[in-house]
A = this chain, B = another copy of it.
């Protein structure tokens, strides 16, 4: 029996920043432009128009932004690249879209942007004032009622740790297990902005947005912080608050050990 030979590849990790406005999210879809399709098409241009596939650390939804998303790309082995040429070449071909490659690094072919990740962090930005956003339009969730950040933090502390997050996962979530360990969930105010920072090894689909939608109910005084414990115990999506809109969410960073970009 002859083993089928795979064409030899070189794998590159790339760090991406993007404005999710107007994009259908990470994953390739027929309904519009995705980050994945933009990135793979830019990569194909660098590979003399041969197809290049990508795997990402976080499949962000439509409208969600990224400050430091990580993906890997498998290029044909016969193209000669440097960190500089991958970063600049991809960024060039990603124009005029608001997607850019911040950094690139060659990695072993057993390294995976998705499976080698040891943590992901997100921030959720809420513009908490009467007036609608102008400079931050499409980049924050606008909440008019004054949020009580201390009460939100009290509720957030209930969610930190290892739990069954069924109440906070999208009904369509495809993960095998609803168990996750939430390492950090921090609520802070910066002038008119309230920021929720979340860090975990991995998150369920919509988990951050569902937690933020629930914390907002606590912040406006509609829920007491204790009710979040009841919502968590219910293991029922209907027991928690609504999903916060995508435009406030940012994939902040992805951790690896060692960090391929160091």
Contact = CB atoms under 8 A, between A and B. Distances in A.
Given A98-B137, A137-B98, A132 B91 contact: yes
Interface in A90-136: 91, 98-102, 129-135
Contacts of A98: 134-135, 137
Contacts of A100: 131-134
A199 interface: no
A184 to B, nearest CB: 20
Given A98-B137, A137-B98, A91 B18 contact: no
Total copies of the chain: 2
A216 interface: no
A19 interface: yes
A209 interface: no
A205 interface: no
A262 to B, nearest CB: 17
A40 interface: no
B131 A139 contact: no
A69 to B, nearest CB: 11
Nearest to A91: B131
A18 B101 contact: no
Contacts of A151: none
A101 B135 contact: no
B139 A135 contact: yes
A41 interface: no
Nearest to A132: B100
Given A87-B130, A130-B87, A135 B19 contact: yes
A72 interface: no
Contact of A18 (B17, B67, B134): B134
A31 to B, nearest CB: 22
A131 B17 contact: yes
A233 B35 CA distance: 52
Contacts of A133: 100
Given A19-B135, A88-B130, A98-B135, 13 more contacts: A17-B134, A17-B135, A18-B134, A19-B134, A19-B137, A87-B131, A98-B134, A98-B137, A100-B131, A100-B133, A100-B134, A102-B130, A135-B139
17 contacts: A17-B131, A17-B134, A17-B135, A18-B135, A19-B134, A19-B137, A65-B135, A67-B135, A87-B131, A91-B131, A91-B132, A98-B134, A98-B135, A100-B132, A102-B129, A102-B131, A135-B139
